[in-house]
Amino acid sequence: MGHTVCFCAGELVIELLARLNDPRAKLVITHHAGDEGLDYLHQLQEMATAQNVDLRYVADMVGDMRQELADGRKIYTLWDACPHADFVTYPSLYEGFGNALIETVCFRKPALVNRYSVYVDDIVPCGFQFVEIDGAITDEAVTAVRDLLTHLDTNCTNFHESRITSQEVIMKAMQLRAPKPVSDDPLVLTDTAVPNPAPGQIRLKVSVCGVCHTDLHTVEGELELPRLPLIPGHEIVGVVEALGKGVTRHQVGDRVGVAWVNWTCGKCDYCRRGLENLCPQARFTGLHADGGYAEYVVVDENFAYPLPPVFADVHAAPLLCAGIVGYRSLRLSGIQPGERLGLYGFGASAHLVIQVARHWDCEVYVFTRSPAHREHARELGAVWRGGAEDMPPELLDASVTFAPAGWIIPQALRHLRPGGTVAINAIHMSPIPEIPYHLIYGERVVRSVANFTRYDAEAFLRLAGEIPIRTDVETFPLAEANDALRQMKASQIQGAAVLEIL
Ligand SMILES: [Zn+2]
Ligand SMILES: [Zn+2]
């Protein structure tokens, strides 16, 4: 067990660790960084990375009282966290360190304290070991800390059972601690606690998890991240392995799929109108709740779907986002059987959508730069392939855009007949350039597609089994999730990337 420095959020402690230059030393942040929030945390993470300091952020596991959240995560107190630290820091210049200090004293942890911290005099009589600084890390402070860590008396500290590790089983997961470009390996293979299902939830042993463009936006920080660390992944296929209290829809041993919509409130105006995809309180898998880049996942039983037996696990995974959202896009484009449909971009989602459209006897026109994707589209029955700048031989009745590139929208409008709809299947897109009014005049409609409803999921999965849809996949081991994301970003995947967990 290496040295762990705990409790701090601050530049001073990163500097201390950098100057300590001990490969065993880790900095574990157990407190939210005040009002500065995630921006400040990201600054600290960047600073730690630049100075080669091993920083772990666990503030979302530590609170004022122990509790288990609806999604099964457990909240610990400092009292639980403290036994894991070898050394405690709280060098705030302006505030006392009362709360942290109570545990610190109880556990006899040596600490770094600031001269201005008002309680220093109180703790000296306790035989408390500390290094005092005066607002800056000095050579003497570094030496004193090194000395304390070298002569740690580990026996005197751990009279309290270590709760974080003793109660939990550990699983492997690819975890996002700080968003960064996929070229810098944002996901880290981690041992973390197997989640327990709360009432109404089920736990799956994950077999495979599809890799989606949204995961790319998540790990690269283009989506606002409600929490860190985070396990992405929302095309999850697994077997029900444990039931929370009151679960009735599933049984242990059932194979189910979990998709992007993780939970909706069921009470708001949108939910009541059948538009739960727009529920303002909706939670998403792999964003608000940990996802499937892991050996286990928990989910509300109402948001797990039985999968048609015709699909093997790896072939079922891409249906769960690429497929379901693609199906909703197709519905919202208003395309009717036998009509002409345009598809812009031909990746994971489009290669499923084209099969539904062909099933409906539509003529499909595919716009993509990639020669490999054009060939793939031809194999799947596209009557015409070209670039988004090219004019198709006929005007289209409806189209769906998949590429997150705003410049495609005016092009798609040029190819559209009056009264037709362009449905945008993208959660994130570069700005759409100015559109001359005549392109949209003639009652042409441009609309985005957001998420999906459980109706979309169930209807699409049923249809996919009937057709049956062929999903082309490339598989990667869980630990190579960063590679899968990189190849997807570079459009090097034929069909869909899927992580095999088992
Ligand atoms: Zn997705
Ligand atoms: Zn709602």
Pseudo-torsion of CA 350, 353, 357, 363, nearest 10°?
0
Least confident of 118-127, 191-200, 291-300, 341-350: 118-127
Q: What is the pLDDT of residue 410?
A: 97
pTM for the complete prediction?
0.66
284 CA distance to ligand 2 middle (Å)? 13
d(CA 99, CA 495): 53
Report the share of the chain in percent with pLDDT over 90. Answer: 59
pLDDT band, residue 100 (cuts 50/70/90): low
Q: How confident is the model at residue 319, as a pLDDT?
A: 96
Model confidence band, residue 148 (pLDDT cutoffs 50, 70, 90): confident
Query: pLDDT confidence of 147, banded at 50, 70, 90?
Result: confident
Last residue of a domain, one of 164, 199, 234: 164
What are the pLDDT digits (tens) for 420-479?
A: 999 999 888 999 999 999 999 999 999 999 999 999 999 999 999 999 999 989 999 999
Ligand 1 centre from 164 Cα, in Å? Answer: 32
Cα 357 to ligand 2 centroid, rounded to whole Å: 31
pLDDT attached to residue 106: 64
Q: How confident is the model over 151-177, as pLDDT tens digits?
A: 765 544 333 333 333 345 789 999 999
Selected residue with higher pLDDT from 107 and 263:
263
pLDDT at 168: 53
* 183 shares a domain with 225: yes
Query: How confident is the model at residue 117, as a pLDDT?
Result: 56
269 alpha carbon, closest ligand: 2
| Range with the poorest average pLDDT among 119-123, 255-259, 450-454 | 119-123
Sign of CA dihedral 164, 165, 166, 168: positive
> Would residue 453 count as lying in a domain?
no
Ligand nearest to the CA of 285: 1
What is the predicted pLDDT for the residue at 31?
66
- 198-207, 443-452, 463-472, 490-499: least confident range: 490-499
Q: Are residues 173 and 298 in the same domain?
A: yes
Residue 316 is predicted with a pLDDT of 97
Which ligand minimizes its atom distance to the CA of 277? 2
The answer to whether position 455 is within a domain reads: no
* Interatomic CA distance for residues 219 and 217, integer angstroms: 6
Give the model confidence (pLDDT) of 224-243 as tens digits.
898 889 999 999 999 999 99
Question: Quick one: which H or E segment has residue 489?
Answer: helix 481-489
The CA-atom distances, in angstroms, between 222 and each of 46, 179, 274 are 17, 9, 29
Mean pLDDT rounded to a whole number for the chain: 86
Same domain, 172 and 159: no
Same domain for 108 and 224?
A: no
In a domain, 139, yes or no: yes
CA of 259 to the centre of ligand 1 (A): 8
Which ligand sits nearest to residue 320's alpha carbon?
A: 1
The domain boundary, picked from 164, 196, 218, lies at 164
CA of 321 to the centre of ligand 1 (A): 4
Q: Give yes or no: residues 227 and 260 share one domain.
A: yes
Are both 262 and 380 inside the same structural domain? no
- pLDDT at 125 exceeding the cut of 80: no
* Res 218 pLDDT > 80: yes
CATH code for the domain in which residue 336 is found: 3.40.50.720
Residues 84 and 146 in one domain: yes
Distance in Å, CA 179 to ligand 2 centroid = 29
Residue 463 lies in a domain: no
Residues measured by CB to lie within 5 Å of ligand 2, the ion: 264-265, 268, 271, 279
418 vs 492, higher pLDDT = 418
Residue located via tokens 């409609």? 445
What's the 3-state SS for 232-288? CCCCEEEEEEEECCCCCCCCCCCEEEECCEEECCCCCHHHHCCCHHHCCCCEEECCC
- How high is the pLDDT of residue 113? 75
Count of domains observed in the chain = 3
Q: pLDDT grade, residue 361 (50/70/90)?
A: very high
State in Å: Cα 73 to ligand 1 middle. 23
Answer yes or no: is pLDDT of 392 > 80: yes
pLDDT band at 4 (very low <50, low <70, confident <90, very high): low
CATH code of 44's domain: 3.40.50.2000
Q: What is the C-alpha separation between 419 and 350, in angstroms, rounded? A: 23
Domain assignment present for residue 467? The answer is no
Query: Residue 380's CB: how many other CB atoms inside 10 A?
Result: 20
Across 69-93, average pLDDT: 71
454 located within any domain:
no
Give me the pLDDT at residue 63, please: 74
374 and 490 fall within a common domain = no
Q: Report the separation in Å between the CA atom of 411 and the middle of ligand 1, taken as the mean of its atom positions.
A: 25
Residue 351: left if φ>0, alpha if ψ -120 to 50, beta else—which one? alpha
Q: List pLDDT tens digits, range 271-310.
A: 999 999 999 999 999 999 999 999 999 999 999 999 999 9
The residue among 138, 164, 190 that closes a domain is: 164
* High-pLDDT (> 70) share of the chain, %: 85
Same structural domain, 61 and 145: yes
pLDDT classification of 266: cutoffs 50, 70, 90: very high
Task: Say what the pLDDT of residue 156 is.
Answer: 40
Q: What is each CA distance from 303 to 33, 192, 250, 358, 424, in whole angstroms?
A: 34, 24, 11, 29, 24
- The DSSP code for 124 is G
Question: Residue 396's domain spans which residues?
Answer: 323-448
Q: What is the CATH number of the domain that holds 236?
A: 3.90.180.10
One-letter amino acid identity for 139? D
Tell how far the Cα of 425 is from the centroid of ligand 1, in angstroms.
Answer: 10
In a domain, 457, yes or no: no
Whether omega for the bond prior to residue 226 falls within 30 degrees of 0, making it cis, is no
Residue 1 pLDDT: 37
The CA 475 to ligand 1 mean position distance, Å, reads 17
Is residue 96 over pLDDT 60?
no
Task: Give the pLDDT confidence of 404-429 residue by residue, as tens digits.
Answer: 899 999 999 999 999 999 999 988 89
Any residues with CB less than 8 A from the CB of 281 and at least 6 apart, and which?
Answer: 264, 265, 268
Out of 130-139, 206-215, 439-448, pick the least confident: 130-139
Q: How far is the CA of 210 from the centre of ligand 1 (A)?
A: 8
pLDDT of the residue at 42: 82
Judge if 154 and 228 occupy the same domain: no
pLDDT of residue 152: 66
Q: Which helix (H) or strand (E) holds 79?
A: helix 78-81
Helices 454-466, 322-332: axis angle to 10 degrees equals 100
pLDDT at 118 over 70: no
- The reported pLDDT for the residue numbered 164 is 38
Distance (angstroms) between ligand 2 centre and the Cα of 71 equals 17
Q: Is there a single domain that holds both residue 440 and residue 476?
A: no
Q: Are residues 140 and 43 both part of a single domain? A: yes
Q: Burial-class residue 275 by CB neighbours within 10 Å (0-12, 13-18, 19+).
A: middle
- Identify whether 465 is part of a domain: no
The answer to whether the beta carbons of residues 175 and 187 sit under 8 Å apart is: yes
Name the pairing type of β-strands 363-367 and 340-344: parallel
